[in-house]
Chain A
Amino acid sequence: MGRLRRLAPYLLLAPGLLWLLLFYAYPAVQMFLVSLWTGNITDGYEQTFNFGIYGEGLSTYWPFIVRSAAYGGLATILAFVLGYPLAYTIAFKGGRYKNLLLFMVIAPFFTSFLLRTLSWKIILADNGLVLGPLKDAGLLGDDFRLLATPAAVVAGITYNFLPFMTLPLYVALEKVDFRLLEAAKDLYAGPWRPGGTIFGGILGALLVALVAIILEANPVVPAVAGGLLGAAIGTFLVSEAFVRITFPLSLSGVFAGSLLTFIPAVGDFVNAELLGDPKSQMIGNVIQARFLRITDYPMASALSFILMAAILVGVLIYARIIGTEELTGGRS
């Protein structure tokens, strides 16, 4: 009896571990070996342990990795900016519609990823639902387009991964003890001024400028507009109780949500392929082309590992900065 009890955790772990071993660890090792092949598809490959391929891959394709990190990071930030108010509203103001609202967040997932992305091609078409009326009204030039631009790629990624951000945020916010907020109010926590104005202004300006820079637009005007909007939100919508209680308590959701969004976003290739132009392809597209188009399996494998390592390093740094321990469960 006691013995079984001691074994229980291992038995419970076994199916999951086995699954990972079989479908993650084993293929990963295989792929690592493939990355150290030399040869081509016609003459065959040899296991040569050519580690130089990693240096070569990194030096040739680093711009794609940087671009992917920028697009993925930007999409994560945008998903956060969109997802946080959404999760907050559902958690605190959802009332009896909570489940319905949550369902609506997840509903797009009932459609395939590919279809959802393809539908953007229709929505954002040069004379489609969005741009058509704006062009007809003379607000945009005839040559303006969103499809086949970096903006479309980032927008597509943001859209596709928004639920990954929203749900963990919701879970974290849902757990916030309402009595703490009441206590804060009793202790004279009011609107966050002037902190909200200053902080909101700076954050808004930086954020919008960042978006503009990554999308290769002039950042000045957008930054001013973003700053004003941020200041307004900070002044009128953010309370001290939120800053001191709600937000810190939701950090675990921020952490989980941003990782769940960022990691797949960096490796994504579907959005760049369907919505991007030749100048906005991501590292995922390179890997895909290496595997299937050029049949250069070693380089494709090496790039996959480089990407994995790069993401791992990025995530570790991020975890370090945010200080995971107290966020990912230490709190309880």
Chain B
Amino acid sequence: MTDKQLNIELTRRRFLAGSAMAGFAAFLAACGTSGQGTTKPSTGGGATTPPATAGATAAATEAATQAPAATGGGKLNFANWIGYIDVDDDNTTHPTLDKFTEETGIEVDYQEAVDDNETFFTSDLQSTLKEDLPSGWDLIVVTDWMVARLVRLGWLETINVANTPNFPANLLDQYKGRSFDPDTNLAAPWQSGMTGIGFDQKKTGPLDSLAVFWDPQYKGKMTYLTEMRDTVGLAAIKLGYEPETLTQEQFDASIAEIKKAVDAKIVRQLQGNSYVDSMAGGDVIVAMAWSGDVQGLLVPDQADDQDFQWALPKEGGMLWTDNMVIPKGAENKGQAELWINFYYTPENAATIEAWVNYVCPVKGAREVLLADDPDIGNNPLIFPTDAMTPLLHQFRAVTAEEEQSWGEAFSSVAGF
């Protein structure tokens, strides 16, 4: 979701929820790989060369046209974010992908190529898709608003749900019929995350209200997110608006509300994923934070005088989702659909969930985990409770003009 590239601003993503690498190291690692780090799945010939080698391509094309691909084998070029799928103990293979290959004969070229929505869009999608050429990817994972943009551009294939008996059948109901995907056949949610209050409870005591983000008591010890939809979304909720139906006036009011805190210097910085480091180092004790980070990155390394917590504000918080989508002209569409179907099997989703620690969109995964690993199954950050659901808001789809003018308005209040 972070739009920033170069590195610095790390993408908000979970560089490695739950693994040994923690905050700072993860930050550096991400610095090193962002931007240019993406390895194209295709043969080296440049962006327009379709991936896959001759033999596989024949089979794949076949499969794509005569879906369902059943067990036809072939290939799947899958671009995802770092730390977003299970790995085995020595970090070399992805057990779930191996299982998929075993079951279907499809060879998966899994690349952690998406470092940031905007960068991935610019580097991997834009130049080819606008010329009606295949992007080289069969399945990519991008955030809601990027899906909305891709839909607007007409750059997505429709998922043929006849090929995916588990999708949307096993998709949790709240994800169905989203504004950019009314028929639930363009985007299959991969993971969701919540944006709420991250805080060091030893310094702040328990917190549960968005008012804290305007509380002068925490002046200079608080960060907002550089992600427009998160920061503006929380400000809007604080003012009593629904991010789902935000009007221009409400947007302006939310920006003005943010500006108040910035001008009063209550806000120390607007940060991307690096807020994790600022919190870990103790400079920041309250932050607009993503649910999985506190869980996966902050808590494991906290010092004795720290107690990191994440709370969904009582007024409400933001929910965002990263989705699997099939770029237009994908060579192996049938294989991509098979994977979607595979992921939407509760057991498989549960395996991934046990490792990833974000919010799972697949029905039945929770039951599997409750039996296997009740700690995860009962974790409200992974499986939000019924009481939380109505509090979770999603930022509405924006028009092309709004995307630009709102981005500008947010930028100017953020200081750049």
A interface residues (Cβ-Cβ under 8 A, vs B): 40-44, 64, 114-115, 118, 121-122, 125-128, 143, 145, 147-148, 270, 273-274, 276-281, 285-286, 288-290, 292-296
Contacts and interface: CB of A to CB of B under 8 A. Distances in A.
B401 A278 contact: no
Nearest to A291: B5
Contact of B8 (A114, A147, A277, A279): A114
Interface stretch (B68-76, B91-99, B190-198, B261-269): B261-269
Contacts of B270: 278
B380 interface: no
A148 B268 contact: yes
Contact of A293 (B24, B118, B153, B265): B118
B268 A277 contact: yes
B269 A148 contact: yes
Contact of A273 (B9, B119, B267, B282): B9
Contact of A278 (B119, B269, B274, B278): B269
Nearest to B259: A278
A114 B219 CA distance: 27
B3 interface: yes
A121 B221 CA distance: 14
Given A274-B8, A294-B407, A143 B219 contact: yes
Contact of A42 (B5, B219, B400): B400
Given A40-B403, A273-B9, A295-B118, A114 B415 contact: no
A289 B415 CA distance: 10
A122 B401 CA distance: 40
The 10 closest A-B pairs by CB, nearest first: A278-B415, A42-B400, A285-B416, A294-B407, A293-B3, A281-B416, A281-B415, A126-B283, A289-B416, A148-B268
B404 A294 contact: yes
Contacts of A121: 277-278, 281, 283
A114 B33 CA distance: 13
A122 B408 contact: no
B108 interface: no
A278 B283 contact: no
Interface residues of B, number: 45
B144 to A, nearest CB: 16
A42 B153 contact: yes
Interface string B388-410: 00000000000011011001100
Nearest to A275: B269
A126 B269 contact: no
Contacts of B8: 114, 270, 273-274
B411 interface: yes
A42 B219 CA distance: 39
Interface string B266-302: 0111100010011001110000000000000000000
A98 to B, nearest CB: 34
A148 B268 CA distance: 6
Given A143-B220, A286-B411, A288-B416, 14 more contacts: A40-B403, A41-B149, A118-B24, A121-B277, A121-B281, A125-B282, A148-B268, A274-B8, A274-B274, A277-B267, A278-B414, A280-B415, A292-B4, A292-B119
16 contacts: A41-B149, A41-B400, A42-B403, A121-B277, A145-B283, A147-B268, A273-B9, A277-B415, A278-B267, A278-B416, A280-B415, A281-B414, A286-B416, A289-B411, A292-B3, A296-B408
A279 B265 contact: yes
Contacts of B414: 278, 281
Contacts of A296: 404, 407-408
Nearest to B409: A294
A296 B152 CA distance: 18
B404 A293 contact: no
B269 A145 contact: no
